Amino acid sequence: MKCRNESAAPEQRAVPREEAVQPALFEYGDGMWPLLSNVKRSSRYAGCEYGVIPPKDGNSIVRFCLAFPDVYEIGMSYLGFQILYFLLKNLPCGDADRVYCPWTDLEEQMRARETPLTSLESGRPLREFDVVGFTLQYELSYTNILTMLDLGRIPLLSADRGENDPLVAAGGVGALSPEPLAPFIDFFCVGDGEDLLPEVITLLSGAKGLSRREKLELLSGIEGVYVPSLVECDVGEGGVSFRSAAEKRVALPVRRRIVESLDDAFFPEMLLVPSGGIVHDRVAVELFRGCTRGCRFCQAGMVTRPVRERSVRPLAERIVSLVEKTGWEEVGLLSLASCDYSGIGELVRELSPMLAEKNVKLSLPSLRMDAFSVNLAAEMESMRRGGITFAPEAGTQRLRDVINKGVSEEDFENSLRTAFTKGWDRVKLYFMMGLPTETDEDLDGIVRLTERAYSIGKGIKKRVEVAVSVAGFVPKPHTPFQWEAQLSVDELRRRGRYVKNRLNEVGRGKISLKYHEPEQSFMEGVFARGDRRLAPVLLAAWRKGARFDGWTETFSFSRWMEAFEECGVDPHGYVSRERSPDEGLPWDHISAGVTKEFLWRERLRSREEKLSPDCREDGKCAACGAACLACGACFPPSQEGGAPRA
């Protein structure tokens, strides 16, 4: 279908502040100003960002509201939102606005005054958009989706929405295990938005005037779109199964869409610059997408395959251009492991002098534990001003082999020695607890490595700080550990306290420790691995007041337990047991690219404590199922070890 809009795509340019579209508080000033005078961080709702593009006019325009289910300073730090905003603005038949979740203080006042939730820049109520699209980055933000829908005057359940209500969409990593949200979402976008959204918007532009049901049926025909209302879900002794519920058969599994070339993919020539401080206040650029290192716990590394890189020269030019247009004083080079970018050395050498002239810092948020990465970071003066973070993940070599981390004791010591020698005096170490086959001996290994890090630092520097962060392991879908059990809340707490007490013994106050609340890890696991039976629980907990569950200050575990009990759902059944290879999983109808055969083989290798090499370095295809774009295909998967059915 062709867009029926005659106007050309808008020029991507920075809009001067005096031309910028004003936020809702100006459109509805009489109602909003009194609200903002009594809330925390009113700058979250002020809008007035530099770079905003005015809205379009036209009957064929699809008005899309990008909705982030957390506060502004977190949502504005998410690069994907920036890309999608300008992508939608660039489409002849698309337009975009944004909305973020109001904090509980503003929500309370909005309800008291019956003020609807509106978009940030145009002040349009959410119910007046064609599509409201949520990004799913974290399971504990799901109650915020219901808050935003309700404040936006949109019925919470898809089945209750009428012809005049917007379509509610969702994308992001959470769309790869969508069932807990299925009754609330009209359609999920599975995969890379740059590849998928233009087709969705073009279809909806041509479908104006059709019924809601007709639009959803058309959308279900797009590869990468999942419409839950057209798919029936059954839960039985054999696990979860799915079948088409529509007269026109829906193709299952829904396959993740990917951008084949990042050089050819859409990337904005401008970024929105916030009017207030945000978590990551910088020019953010993605070096490459995908990872083949094969850490068995890492969902992102599995579901973003294959690896696709941006070319160095155009990337460097784009970075310099964005710095000049936005005025940011820091550039973040983003990826799952920045130093795995094949052109990282060349890019840093090319950028460093140009950015130094402008007093702009260059940072690498993710580093490998090797001397190359540390030396590269040390070349950047700005990175030596702060601390440096390493992620050994596990305390012993045995357990690192189980998770396929590929980091040796020698790598650990060399990286730390290099870091302290190059000038760092603050080091943060990131570990997980509760990994498959973990014992107290592995926990002792965390203590031993931390003590060793401090000892190495004191041998080089007068002043040394070592901070340890420990998170509870959550077995995520589409990973080799998706069949594993998750530790109970009590056991996670025991292990966290065990590590804390041992570090207090050896660190004598010189080593700090933070570990994630075990109740939050438990809830994350439940919703990451859940099915549609969780939807009533989610709704019940929200009605009891569940909000911002990823924030310790607002999270209430007892509230959730009450909701589970009222709905007759046992949350422990989702996380406390090991799943069999023949069991139907709640995400089997979504194909992330890697096959279940590959994931099962990797699980078996983990139990044998065998490492699997990185196919980019080893040169041998791992037969993961995510076709390598360099060779065009993978070898047929082996049936070694009795792989489960696909």
The pLDDT tens digits for 339-362 are 889 999 899 989 988 898 888 988
What domains are there in the chain, each with its CATH number?
Answer: 24-255 (3.40.50.280), 385-533+569-579 (3.30.750.200)
Block residue for tokens 């979250």 = 44
**Distance (Å, rounded) from C-alpha 197 to C-alpha 176?**
16
- Identify the pLDDT of residue 10: 40
pTM given for the model: 0.91
Nearest-CA neighbor of 179 among 97, 265, 109, 239? 239
Exposure b/e, 32-57, CB count within 10 A at least 16 = b: beebbeebebbbbbbbbbbbbbebbe
For residue 293, the 8-state DSSP code is: S
The pLDDT tens digits for 65-118 are 999 999 999 999 999 999 999 999 999 999 999 999 999 999 999 999 999 999
- Identify the pLDDT of residue 165: 98
Distance of CA 504 to the CA centre of its chain: 34
The β-bridge relationship of strands 225-226 and 187-189 is: antiparallel
> What is the number of other CB atoms lying within 10 angstroms of the CB of residue 283?
26
Could you say which residues of the chain have pLDDT below 50? Answer: 1-30, 630-646
Nearest-CA neighbor of 443 among 501, 360, 520? 501
Exposure b/e, 134-145, CB count within 10 A at least 16 = b: bbbbbbbbbbbb
Block residue for tokens 């050395």 = 345
Dig out the tokens for 218 from the structure.
Answer: 């058309």
C-alpha distances (whole Å) from 227 to each of 5, 188, 196, 627 are 27, 6, 14, 26
- Identify the pLDDT of residue 34: 66
